[in-house]
Amino acid sequence: MALIVQKFGGTSVGDPEKIKNVAKRVLKNKKEGNQVVVILSAMSGETNRLTDFAMAMQDIPDSREMDVLLSSGEQVTISLFAMAMKALGDDCVSFLGDQVKILTDSSHTKARIESIDTESIMEVLNDDKVVVVAGFQGVDSDGNITTLGRGGSDTTAVALAAVLNADVCEIFTDVEGIYTADPNICNKARKIDRISYDEMLELASLGAKVLDIRSVTFAKQYHVPIHVRSTFTDTEGTWVVEEEKAMEGRIVSGVTYNKSEARITISGVPDQPGIATKIFTPISNANIIVDMIIQNQDTGNGMTDMTFTVLRSDYERTLKILGSVVESTEATGGIHSSDAITKISIVGVGMRNHSGIASTMFSVLANEGINISMISTSEIKVSCIINEKYTELAVRALHDAFELDKDNMAEEETLV
Amino acid sequence: MALIVQKFGGTSVGDPEKIKNVAKRVLKNKKEGNQVVVILSAMSGETNRLTDFAMAMQDIPDSREMDVLLSSGEQVTISLFAMAMKALGDDCVSFLGDQVKILTDSSHTKARIESIDTESIMEVLNDDKVVVVAGFQGVDSDGNITTLGRGGSDTTAVALAAVLNADVCEIFTDVEGIYTADPNICNKARKIDRISYDEMLELASLGAKVLDIRSVTFAKQYHVPIHVRSTFTDTEGTWVVEEEKAMEGRIVSGVTYNKSEARITISGVPDQPGIATKIFTPISNANIIVDMIIQNQDTGNGMTDMTFTVLRSDYERTLKILGSVVESTEATGGIHSSDAITKISIVGVGMRNHSGIASTMFSVLANEGINISMISTSEIKVSCIINEKYTELAVRALHDAFELDKDNMAEEETLV
């Protein structure tokens, strides 16, 4: 008998019929002899409906009350799901975040889980019933409702799998797993069978939308195997697991892109100590997160260029702030910027043992006539900022160049 | 400084604009120097939306999960209201039933309040903030969400007013108060200024829909003055209070009707001990509530007729159950029944000191050619079952006959 945590997202529980289908699926897993804990998101569309209400009330809705509001969404789906299980002749008990209880800090709309009581869940499981828990929500030590932020239901699922010592945390979604590239723009994209936590973390932070980055961090920390798979089929999806020897045979695991950033360059700033502080302190004070930062080497005239990226949603605000900053830094070259950029990245643990990956990437892009305006690397990824209009072309060219359509993970075995 | 509890129903908070208007009204009361505790229902239509979901899941939705589902409705309105108060520059904290906490028994969908903690509410009030509490919901001693049933938000409001020792419990609604008759069918209907708890209890149980009967019972028990008034105007509504001397000058306070019942007669049943048990035990076992019961005197042949009323929604089910019952009682006259009936009632504390009120009622109906099929009386009311089609005619005739368009409560003073 295994203990399985299964998380279903908003599209999987988007209407009563879909909730019934999820119940059937869960019952099948239970009848196979497993204990099942189900985590549900709000129905797709519900969070938007509620957010629209909130925006009609207050320009910047109060975060404590926003959590009270949004947490009602999962409350609806878990109760309906429990009814659906009972209608199938099984038994099921629903738990809200504060009933479990999922204790978090008090950072409303982006709370962090501090602890989870497992007693009531285990009691219900040992009664041979299914447990359904509201994703995304918790409670702080004062009894206030909190929410975990975007992708919070994934975090709830992985955290519960960790404390329950579950055999697997299954994340059900509307795609079949993690792909080597976005299948919508690259028809050679291949579903990845197994991927390491570190690779998944890079992919998630670089734009892959299937798994939330915090849930992967949690899974890595607590050694929770995640199985990302489709709600609508029975086929195996992608396992996100500890790094395995065979994974190293694969130099690049995936190509991903992110269109949510904008690039800003301040030219001709004096190359002297403290210049970065002068530029970035006012930006950070405005709660704007800066992603990539590149400062060019002073080429002899005592001047340098500072280039960085911010979220597109912060683009206009950042430019406004920089207006006064540029004056105080006595920058001579003015500001050059664009919000029509893409960050395109290749990720793979195999990079650690292989050289020349970055230069291959650069030459592939050059061969397609694509100019690179910024570069950033880590141990297992290379990212380039390019003009947004080349996104699809770049993804396909890199996918071809690194032969991602072939499952080269097992090459060590097959080459013996 | 007064402490005011204000309850707004679903139509008063039916959309974001209406919620903002309620917030403005509350702020005005606060600025006049009062402490204000607001109780809200779910947006009108929301309970139906959620109930439809539930019915799509399970033929008879599980009552524990139904409470989890329905309680999400008030969660939405209280958080939006708190945001609206903050947008007006004031401060406000929302509380769910389990946060207050409103402790109930475990009778899901019809729980009874056992106790309410006032500490957290008083803390917020003394911080000069408005408190908004979700109506209709509570929590049992095991932490399960419960709901109080139909009209539960009124009960929440009165119960909170009682434990907080509030100066008044204002129930805001879409009408201007309690009327001497339904203004939709009687254009001479007059708003009642003051009415006693007992009269209000009779009116509520006999079909007046403005106040829930349990909330009035609670108010009577804890001496909470209720002020029923319109959300949309500033005019005084109806005060529901302890019985006052002046009220006795008014023989009849109001005429009301109830179309939700059906009448069933079993003719020719043997007039012997135990016959009522034989008939009503199987009905009660099916959870069908019987309202009026009349057994005619045996007129000499050892047979009697048994007539009673049930809710129309239980009518078909009751007839089915009676099929076999009639056989076992050896009733010879068969079953005669109708679901096209109305219970029409007159209510007034002045009846205690006046005779002939019932006979006046009977003659008024007779004069209009309306046949009476059942009669039931209490100390302060007389009810008659008549053919449904005469409802409006009967209400207007009784309203005229007892001169309810005139405010005769103060007659003792004016006659001096």
| Burial class of residue A142 (count of CB atoms within 10 Å of its CB; 0-12, 13-18, 19+) | exposed
Is B57 in contact with A83 (Cβ distance < 8 A)? Answer: yes
Cα B5 to Cα B227: distance, rounded to the nearest angstrom: 10
Report cis status (omega within 30 of 0) of the bond before A101: yes
Same domain, B250 and B349: yes
Is B98 in contact with A98 (Cβ distance < 8 A)? Answer: yes
What pLDDT does residue B82 have? 98
Cα A259 to Cα A34: distance, rounded to the nearest angstrom: 41
What pLDDT does residue B191 have? 93
What pLDDT does residue A414 have? 37
Is B87 in contact with A143 (Cβ distance < 8 A)? Answer: no
User: Shortest CB distance from A79 goes to which of B65, B98, B99?
Assistant: B65
Quickly count: other Cβ atoms within 10 Å of residue A295's Cβ. Answer: 15
Is A69 in contact with B57 (Cβ distance < 8 A)? Answer: no
Give the pLDDT band (50/70/90) at residue A409.
low
Q: What is the mean pLDDT of residues A354-376?
A: 89
pLDDT at A35 over 70: yes
Task: Confirm whether B196 is domain-assigned.
Answer: no
Give the pLDDT band (50/70/90) at residue B151.
confident
Domain CATH code at residue B368: 3.30.2130.10
What pLDDT does residue B413 have? 41
User: Shortest CB distance from A68 goes to which of B62, B65, B94?
Assistant: B94
Query: How far off is chain B from A320, nearest CA to CA, in Å?
Result: 26
CB of B1 within 8 Å of any CB in chain A? no
Is B65 in contact with A98 (Cβ distance < 8 A)? Answer: no
Which chain B positions have a beta carbon within 8 Å of A51's beta carbon? none
CB of A409 within 8 Å of any CB in chain B? no
CB of B60 within 8 Å of any CB in chain A? no
Range with the lowest mean pLDDT among B152-156, B292-296, B375-379?
B292-296
Task: Confirm whether B383 is domain-assigned.
Answer: yes
CB of B74 within 8 Å of any CB in chain A? no
Task: Confirm whether A189 is domain-assigned.
Answer: no
Which chain A positions have a beta carbon within 8 Å of B53's beta carbon? 16, 76, 80
pLDDT at A267 over 90: no
Range with the lowest mean pLDDT among A203-217, B45-59, B76-90, B169-183?
A203-217
What pLDDT does residue A342 have? 95
In 3-state terms, chain A is what percent helix, strand and coil (to 5)? 40, 25, 35
Quickly count: other Cβ atoms within 10 Å of residue B356's Cβ. Answer: 10
Most confident listed range (A215-224, B127-136, B259-268): B127-136
Same domain, B143 and B255: no
* Share above pLDDT 70 across residues of chain B, in percent, rounded to a whole number: 97
Domain that holds residue B158: 3-174
pLDDT at A207 over 90: no
pLDDT at B181 over 90: yes
Give the pLDDT band (50/70/90) at residue B409.
low
Query: How far off is chain B from A56, nearest CA to CA, in Å?
Result: 6
Task: Confirm whether A409 is domain-assigned.
Answer: yes
Task: Confirm whether A92 is domain-assigned.
Answer: yes
Is B82 in contact with A61 (Cβ distance < 8 A)? Answer: no
What pLDDT does residue B340 have? 95
- Identify which of A67, A71, A163 has the alpha carbon closest to the alpha carbon of residue A107: A67
CB of B314 within 8 Å of any CB in chain A? no
CB of B117 within 8 Å of any CB in chain A? no
Give the count of domains, chain A: 2
Read off the tokens for B40.
Answer: 């809200």
Which residues are CB-contacts of B238 (< 8 A; sequence separation ≥ 6)? B177, B178, B191, B192, B193, B194, B195, B227, B228, B229
What pLDDT does residue A174 have? 85
Q: Which residue has the higher pLDDT, A279 or A20?
A: A20
The whole-chain average pLDDT of chain A stands at 91
Of A127, A145, A174, the residue that ends a domain is A174
Tens of pLDDT, residue by residue over A289-314, are 888 888 877 767 788 888 899 999 99
DSSP H helical ranges for B127-266: 152-163, 197-205, 213-222
User: Shortest CB distance from B50 goes to which of A20, A76, A86?
Assistant: A76
CB of B78 within 8 Å of any CB in chain A? yes
Same domain, B17 and B133: yes
Distance between first and last Cα of chain A = 37
Residue B167 backbone dihedrals phi, psi, to 5 degrees: -75, -30
Cβ–Cβ < 8 Å for B113, B138: yes
Is A65 in contact with B86 (Cβ distance < 8 A)? Answer: yes
Same domain, A249 and A396: yes
Is B16 in contact with A58 (Cβ distance < 8 A)? Answer: no
Same domain, A97 and A8: yes
Same domain, B277 and B415: yes
Query: How far off is chain B from A20, nearest CA to CA, in Å?
Result: 7
Give the pLDDT band (50/70/90) at residue B408.
low
pLDDT at A391 over 70: yes
* Share above pLDDT 90 across residues of chain B, in percent, rounded to a whole number: 68
pLDDT at B269 over 50: yes
What pLDDT does residue A91 have? 96
- Identify which of A81, A97, A107, A204 has the alpha carbon closest to the alpha carbon of residue A159: A97
Which chain B positions have a beta carbon within 8 Å of A16's beta carbon? 53, 56-57
Cα A296 to Cα A338: distance, rounded to the nearest angstrom: 18
Q: What is the DSSP letter of A288?
A: P
What pLDDT does residue B41 have? 96
Give the number of C-alpha atoms closer than 13 A to the C-alpha of residue B131, restricted to the C-beta side.
29
Q: Which residue has the higher pLDDT, A271 or A145?
A: A145
CB of A62 within 8 Å of any CB in chain B? yes
Task: Confirm whether A119 is domain-assigned.
Answer: yes
User: Shortest CB distance from B62 goes to which of A19, A72, A82?
Assistant: A82
Cα B273 to Cα B269: distance, rounded to the nearest angstrom: 11
Give the pLDDT band (50/70/90) at residue A251.
confident
Task: Confirm whether B15 is domain-assigned.
Answer: yes
Question: A357-367 vs A391-401: helix axis angle to the nearest 10?
Answer: 130
The whole-chain average pLDDT of chain B stands at 91
User: Shortest CB distance from A86 goes to which of B20, B58, B93?
Assistant: B58
Same domain, B256 and B380: yes
- Residue type, position A357, single letter: I
Pick the residue from chain B with its C-alpha nearest to A82. Answer: B65
- Identify which of A69, A74, A68 has the alpha carbon closest to the alpha carbon of residue A19: A74
Is B94 in contact with A65 (Cβ distance < 8 A)? Answer: yes
Pick the residue from chain B with its C-alpha nearest to A72. Answer: B72
Cβ–Cβ < 8 Å for B92, A66: no
pLDDT at B115 over 80: yes
* Share above pLDDT 70 across residues of chain A, in percent, rounded to a whole number: 97
Give the pLDDT band (50/70/90) at residue A250.
confident
Pick the residue from chain A with its C-alpha nearest to B139. Answer: A99
Quickly count: other Cβ atoms within 10 Å of residue A231's Cβ. Answer: 20
Which chain B positions have a beta carbon within 8 Å of A93's beta carbon? 64
Q: Which residue has the higher pLDDT, A63 or B295?
A: A63
| Burial class of residue A69 (count of CB atoms within 10 Å of its CB; 0-12, 13-18, 19+) | buried
In degrees, to the nearest 5, what angle opens at C-alpha B57 toward C-alphas B52 and B62?
95
Tens of pLDDT, residue by residue over A103-126, are 999 999 999 999 999 999 999 999
Give the pLDDT band (50/70/90) at residue B392.
very high
Is B58 in contact with A83 (Cβ distance < 8 A)? Answer: yes
Query: How far off is chain B from A49, nearest CA to CA, in Å?
Result: 11
Interface pTM, i.e. ipTM: 0.83
Query: How far off is chain B from A54, nearest CA to CA, in Å?
Result: 6
Task: Confirm whether B118 is domain-assigned.
Answer: yes
Domain CATH code at residue B56: 3.40.1160.10
Of B155, B174, B193, the residue that ends a domain is B174
Torsion of the alpha carbons at A204, A210, A214 and A219, rounded to the nearest 10: -100
CB of B381 within 8 Å of any CB in chain A? no
What pLDDT does residue A105 have? 96
Element containing residue A129 per DSSP (H, E): none
Pick the residue from chain B with its C-alpha nearest to A73. Answer: B72
- Tell which of B60, B79, B91 to mutate to test the A interface (max A CBs under 10 Å): B79
Tens of pLDDT, residue by residue over A130-158, are 999 999 999 999 999 999 988 899 999 99
In degrees, to the nearest 5, what angle opens at C-alpha B185 toward C-alphas B179 and B188?
55
Cα A149 to Cα A262: distance, rounded to the nearest angstrom: 23
- Sheet of A334-338, strands arranged across: A290-295, A303-311, A261-270, A334-338
Of A114, A142, A174, the residue that ends a domain is A174
Same domain, B262 and B392: yes
Cα B102 to Cα B316: distance, rounded to the nearest angstrom: 38
Read off the tokens for B337.
Answer: 């029944």
